[in-house]
Amino acid sequence: MTLSSFLLKAPKETTGFMVLGYVVIFGVILVYVYSLKRRKHNLELDLELLDEADKED
């Protein structure tokens, strides 16, 4: 194998890996946003319970 034949070889196709990487990152972001929404919802429920308990006293 000569230097010129080595330089003429095309790089391997990696578009599939790039797309898979974007899908994984997008999925992780969606899970994180869902987690934040659930935490906010649970926090609001806790605040309502504390307000009700405070009004009873």
Q: Which two tokens stand for residue 48?
A: 């309502």
Residue boundaries of the structural domains of the chain: 17-56
Q: Read off φ and ψ for residue 6, nearest 5 degrees.
A: -65, -40
The pLDDT value given to residue 4: 72
Ranges of the chain whose pLDDT falls below 50? none
